[in-house]
């Protein structure tokens, strides 16, 4: 069985045959023209055949060279295809998802391990966005935002609907007693998120009228509001299902059935088309399925 020529000599021959020039082959392979000539002379000596007709500025294949070039070129294409196929299996697609810190902490991160198992070829990057930023101004493939679903020039679908209920920690209820009816809450320490509108709207839903403006600290960050409630600092308006884990664990207790249904929701927003459209659509379907599963679990309680 005839020994195969070395891979460097075959690579030098293939490049020179394809380009018709030792000089251009040397530039493509980042070696000197002398190295190309040395490889080809060694190949010709091993095969006992002249493969090129040398000219001043060009080289031309002999009949034997043409025959060898056809086989070598085909072999390299097969080899490159196999290497590319293996490399592509390991390559990950980077997908950026933008959202606020509260939603990321309370809804996305608890599902992070499941996401990694479902999308092993996706390199996920979570991007934190400020409140009320427009999706059009965010560099992300998927945007999860609180709103009314109207995002011009973007595709959107509801992801998580929210209802708000008053919640408190067991330690606060042990200290101050459990309120017997919604109007009793007017005499408890209330904590507001961003403004007093949430509590005002809930009292209206519960048919409670207040003769004086509501008092209590106003805190911007949702996570800080909930931590204050868990620490027994006051009663807050909790967002279901984002406080699902706290209710299940008993860290927070829902005080009354009366709930305020928000006219807005968390939406999945993305561009009409993009470079990673297939992955983005698959991720959005998975997120929507996660939301549907959570609703079923809540209804089954």
| Upper half-sphere CA count for residue 262 (Cβ side, 13 Å) | 22
Taking only Cα atoms into account, the Rg of the chain, rounded to an integer number of angstroms, comes to 34
Give the ranges where the chain is alpha helix by DSSP (H): 7-19, 22-29, 33-47, 63-90, 101-103, 112-118, 170-176, 197-205, 222-230, 244-249, 277-299
Q: What is the pLDDT of residue 296?
A: 65
Q: What is the pLDDT of residue 216?
A: 93
Q: In angstroms, rounded to a whole number, what is the distance separating the alpha carbons of residues 162 and 262?
A: 6
Q: What is the pLDDT of residue 59?
A: 84
Q: What is the pLDDT of residue 132?
A: 66
Q: Helix/strand/coil (H, E, C) string of 12-77?
A: HHHHHHHHCCHHHHHHHHCCCHHHHHHHHHHHHHHHCCCCEEECCCCEEECHHHHHHHHHHHHHHH
Q: What is the pLDDT of residue 57?
A: 72
Q: What is the pLDDT of residue 3?
A: 75
Q: Helix 22-29 vs helix 33-47: angle between axes, to the nearest 10 degrees?
A: 110
Residue with tokens 């293996």: 86
Q: Which residues of the chain have pLDDT under 50?
A: none
Going by C-alpha positions, the residue among 223, 205, 185 that lies closest to residue 263 is 205
Q: What is the pLDDT of residue 119?
A: 92
Q: What is the pLDDT of residue 87?
A: 61
Question: Do the beta carbons of residue 144 and residue 266 sit within 8 Å?
Answer: yes
| Upper half-sphere CA count for residue 94 (Cβ side, 13 Å) | 6
Going by C-alpha positions, the residue among 192, 273, 277 that lies closest to residue 200 is 192
Q: What is the pLDDT of residue 152?
A: 85
Question: Do the beta carbons of residue 170 and residue 250 sit within 8 Å?
Answer: yes
Which tokens sit at 150?
A: 């109207």
Q: What is the pLDDT of residue 166?
A: 97
């Amino acid at each position: 069985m005839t020994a195969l020529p070395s891979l460097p000599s075959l690579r030098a021959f293939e490049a020179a045959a394809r380009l018709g020039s030792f000089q251009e082959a040397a530039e493509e392979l980042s070696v000197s023209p002398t190295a190309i000539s040395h490889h080809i002379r060694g190949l010709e000596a091993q095969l006992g055949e002249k493969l090129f007709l040398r000219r001043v500025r060009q080289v031309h294949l002999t009949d034997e060279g043409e025959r060898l070039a056809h086989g070598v070129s085909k072999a390299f294409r097969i080899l490159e295809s196999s290497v590319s196929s293996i490399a592509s299996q390991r390559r990950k697609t980077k997908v950026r998802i933008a959202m606020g810190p509260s939603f990321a902490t309370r809804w996305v991160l608890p599902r992070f391990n499941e996401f990694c198992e479902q999308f092993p070829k996706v390199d996920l990057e979570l991007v934190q966005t400020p409140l009320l930023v427009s999706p059009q101004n965010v560099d992300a493939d998927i945007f999860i935002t609180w709103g009314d679903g109207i995002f011009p020039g973007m595709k959107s679908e509801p992801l998580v609907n929210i209802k708000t209920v008053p919640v408190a920690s067991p330690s606060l209820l042990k200290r101050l007693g459990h309120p017997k009816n919604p109007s009793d809450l007017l005499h408890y320490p209330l904590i507001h998120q961003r403004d007093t509108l949430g509590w005002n709207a809930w009292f209206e839903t519960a048919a409670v009228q207040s003769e004086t403006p509501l008092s209590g600290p106003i805190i911007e960050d949702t996570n800080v509001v909930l931590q204050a409630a868990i620490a027994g600092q006051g009663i807050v308006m909790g967002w279901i299902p984002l406080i699902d884990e706290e209710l299940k664990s008993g860290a927070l207790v829902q005080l009354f059935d009366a709930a305020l249904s928000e006219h807005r929701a968390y939406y999945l927003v993305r561009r009409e088309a993009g470079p990673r459209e297939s992955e983005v659509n698959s991720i959005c379907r998975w997120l929507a399925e996660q939301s549907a599963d959570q609703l079923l679990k809540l209804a089954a309680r």
